[in-house]
A and B are shown apart, each in its own frame.
Chain A
Amino acid sequence: MPVTSSSFAVSPAGAATAPAPPPPALRLEQVSKRFRSSDAPGPASAPPVLAPLDLTISPGEFVAVLGPSGCGKSTLLRLLSGLAEPSAGTITIDGHPPGQGDDLAYVFQDATLLPWLRVDANVETLLRLRRVPAAERARRREAALALVGLADRARAYPRQLSGGQKMRVSLARALATEPRVLLLDEPFGALDEMTRDRLGEELLAIHARQRWTALFVTHSVAEAVFLATRILVLAPRPGRIAHDLRVELPYPRTHDTRRSADYLRLVAEVSARLRAVDPESGTGVPPAASSSAPSPAP
């Protein structure tokens, strides 16, 4: 049995006692989403995609979202980004409703670079839409490209880049907007494992410098544990938060972290919890599980 101290454990997030918490970066109050019967097949009384959901994320937190398919991960991101409206409840991002304010950036599953623009122009796309003056655009573009290590590829076209490089540019495009909140939708899912690991490490290094709030959707438990300060495990039908876990691994997390016993134990533990909420795996978990999360594994 490995030596476990309380600072190296997965524990319910509520258990951490923070003195005088800062105003939340992200707050969801009783947010639910139900598609109208015209939008989706099935009876009008189809279960909501998201059950009424409460969630508060503090500035600088790095939150990973795990869950089986159909648990509403994508819907959650669409609601937060303002691409979709909740059926009920309120969402506040850095004090604004979603879709207002310039403090939120989104990193897509694919790099979604515009193929006809060179890397530098791609990084500036969102700034151009916001009518940021040219000099300021150039400054932010150069900073963002340097941050992702692609300053020397500024004049390349997207199709000349590797998958990993494209994702770096996509990240740079989001970072150039100087966001307070960053939503990432399985950004490294299509990459090979080595590239994926390296980009994860670099993302953490950038996070350590800039301290935006991250909501990172992923299918990989290992990735979630490596990156996040907190992991939300969602359960499907209706989508709800089954577990809200704090990852007590010290930062900076490096390549060595992935070999540490604590890391491996946490991955195993979170994997077990994820399996438990996945109906495909046989053992369902009632919604009540969220309020009575078990204490750390022995």
Chain B
Amino acid sequence: MNARLLRWLLPLALFALLLAGWQALHHSLAPSRRFLLPSLSQLAEAFRIHGPALLVAARHTALAALAGFALAAAVAALASLLLASSNLVRATLYPYLMGLQMVPIIIIAPILILWVGPGAPSVILVTFLITFFPLVVNTTQGLLSVDRAHLDLFRMGRAARWQELLLLRAPAALPYFFTGLRIAAILAPIGALTADYLVGSSSGGRLGLGMSALLFSARNEIPALYATALVGCVLGFALVAAVSGISWLVLHRWHDSYPLSDK
């Protein structure tokens, strides 16, 4: 069979199988417990009723996730250049960077609201805190993992430190940076959604996905909760796909993680 066709057919077949399994699982439950796993038609109904509201909520969450993600990427890129520039700087700052990731968001969320104000600013800040660490760790690693012979080449070319950093270390770190971006892209929507759940209640009317989930949960609307979770997943997929696309544009011609084209 055509390999190209198979590439589309196989995922579609698995998807259909999963849907069928879901439906079968729903019917296998005792009638009194079927509300725990709504049927596909109930799910569709939830989308029909709450779809427009979910779309608006998803837009708020997506924008906040994107803002936090972009901010983390930019700050991580600059911070990594600083960290890679000296062992002393790295040894001094690294514990605090790890600390940033270890901060229990649930506990400091109320404090964050007091700091930067409710709603979007808090959500962006939480997303930043969650996505920053994998970005900075990967990028710094990349900046430090430079071929010794390439370093010798630059030393012999009497490259200035900034030339070595920008013309050698930075491009060499790009694949690592994109690995960090992929991890961050998965974390960002979850982070934004969680933040919205925790701090969004004071957002003054702008309903994100987290807040929507909170409302559905209070009203015991289980199918709507499932619908909200699915929309959250779609956000994550969209962001990962976008990052993969940009990564392909930047790396596919020269990096060995992409197949060699004939041209």
Binding site for B on A (CB under 8 A): 81-83, 99, 106, 108-110, 112, 114-117, 125-126, 128-130, 157-160
Contacts and interface: CB of A to CB of B under 8 A. Distances in A.
Task: Classify the secondary structure of A's interface with B.
Answer: loop
Interface of B: 147, 149-150, 152-159, 163, 167-168, 171-172, 174, 253-256, 260
B159 A129 contact: yes
Task: Classify the secondary structure of B's interface with A.
Answer: helix
Contact of A112 (B150, B172, B254, B260): B150
B157 A115 contact: no
B171 A116 contact: yes
B253 to A, nearest CB: 6
A159 B149 contact: no
Given A108-B149, A110-B149, 4 more contacts: A106-B156, A112-B152, A116-B254, A159-B256
Given A157-B253, A159-B254, A129 B157 contact: yes
Contacts of B158: 99, 129-130
Given A99-B158, A112-B147, A125-B157, A83 B152 contact: yes
Contacts of A81: 156
Contact of B156 (A82, A109, A116, A158): A82
A157 B254 contact: yes
Contacts of A158: 254
B154 A115 contact: no
A250 to B, nearest CB: 34
Contacts of B155: 83
B212 to A, nearest CB: 44
Contacts of B156: 81-83, 106
A159 B154 contact: no
A34 to B, nearest CB: 22
Contacts of B149: 108-110, 112
